[in-house]
Structure 1
């Protein structure tokens, strides 16, 4: 029984790791023609060409990182604040239904509906427009995510501070924020991933001028440049994997 379990778990582990290993191998390979089983070249040539040429891969990585960090920060911060007002509102259910509205449509359809306003405001084709478009998806997610935090226990802690003579600011800074620290980190991680892997909305609002890593991946695939596409995929996939490990190692285990 233990041997069967080991085989099953090993197979699952290999199945999970195979796509990452294959992308890494493809990014270092070249001259792979049918019917060869293995590539004819392994080396750093592709990475050197990407880093030294004018492919813009470094700029795309920096753009993706900056946009995702900004969206995650704004979405988590404002979502946490507004979620309290909604949780204690007399018409809480109505506001939550409105918060779910962006997820009733695909990001591309949502961006198409809002594209007129982006064009009129001059935000179309700018990183500010991309940030705003992704924020419209990340913010309601944060509002919904934090509803579980604003429960009866949290409200009692807040009222206890006020009863003992503390101010609303002291209750928020010294009690509410420490209690919510774990959930805030998880929400930041989730909204970062929402922005990091977003393609449809970014491509439509950015109109090709804002080339994040997701846009680069599809661009190289359309050009049949699989080796550069694999490099873009590695840069796209491995940072979230690292964040997932850190989240599991330092955040989730403490919450559990």
Structure 2
């Protein structure tokens, strides 16, 4: 019984990753057929040629990478400052504030300032908007990384005559490498799947992959929507695999010492 339930759970988890690519390759797939009538690259060629899918894919990768790198770097540094601050709880409460609203409501709250600065409907505005929602998450993620033990290690470097640069380069960054990679991965995913803020701030002019997928869903185009969804889910899977490989190599290196 347990094996059957476990197999059913695995099937439910794997099904979307198989169904979406299959639907994207289907020529026709009408109810009640269990399988498509045929498979073809026609939808992929059309989406790539006239659907703007390639541009949306490149745009999403660039946006997510830039937002992830900047929010991880700045969030790591700000979390270091907050961890030892006497107003730590208050500052963390401020970091949680953007998540008290839904992304769309938060976007409409910010929209006035983006309109006044002429950033609405621009790539720079979308990047800034995504940063404003990903950066607080990065701070929250990293603040617990700065444990008393790590702060004591930093203080020890200063006691031995080391400079702040030496503390960061020789102690804090090497020790924090796994946390930084984890933070980079999670912030990338948050920016990669961001839809509400991108729609409101981008005003439909900045067509990232999530925006493109919702557009196809609204147009009742399931094949293009499945194609865009396939492109959305596979890069995170690749990152998960790379993270898994990195963790295995790290544990193997520790075991061989």
State whether TM-score is above 0.5: yes
- Stretch deviating more after TM superposition (28-37 or 132-141): 28-37
Which residue pairs with 1:172 in the alignment? 168
Q: How does 1:1-256 map to 2 (within 5 A)?
A: 4-51=1-48, 53-251=49-247, 254=250
> Residues 23 and 29 of structure 2 are in contact (CA less than 8 Å); yes or no, is this contact kept in structure 1?
no
Q: Deviations over 1:93-140 (max 9, x none)?
A: 110110000000111111100100000111100111111111111111
State the alpha-carbon separation in 1 of the partners of residues 2 and 169 from structure 2.
48
Calculate the TM-score normalised by the size of structure 1: 0.94
Calculate the TM-score normalised by the size of structure 2: 0.93
State the alpha-carbon separation in 2 of the partners of residues 80 and 36 from structure 1.
51
> Residues 60 and 211 of structure 1 are in contact (CA less than 8 Å); yes or no, is this contact kept in structure 2?
yes
> Residues 193 and 210 of structure 2 are in contact (CA less than 8 Å); yes or no, is this contact kept in structure 1?
yes
State the alpha-carbon separation in 1 of the partners of residues 34 and 89 from structure 2.
58
SS of residue in 2 equivalent to 1:41: coil
State the alpha-carbon separation in 1 of the partners of residues 80 and 173 from structure 2.
12
> Residues 115 and 124 of structure 1 are in contact (CA less than 8 Å); yes or no, is this contact kept in structure 2?
yes
What is the root-mean-square deviation in Å for CA atoms of aligned residues?
Answer: 1.7
Closer, same or farther: CA 102–252 of 1 in aligned 2, 3 Å: farther
Gap runs ≥5 in structure 1: none
CA offset at residue 206 of structure 1? 0.4
State the alpha-carbon separation in 2 of the partners of residues 89 and 45 from structure 1.
58
SS of residue in 2 equivalent to 1:42: coil
State the alpha-carbon separation in 2 of the partners of residues 95 and 223 from structure 1.
44
* Aligned residue pairs, count: 252
State the alpha-carbon separation in 1 of the partners of residues 249 and 15 from structure 2.
26
CA offset at residue 85 of structure 1? 1.0
Gap runs ≥5 in structure 2: none
Q: Deviations over 1:147-178 (max 9, x none)?
A: 11211111111111112221111001110001
Closer, same or farther: CA 145–253 of 1 in aligned 2, 3 Å: farther
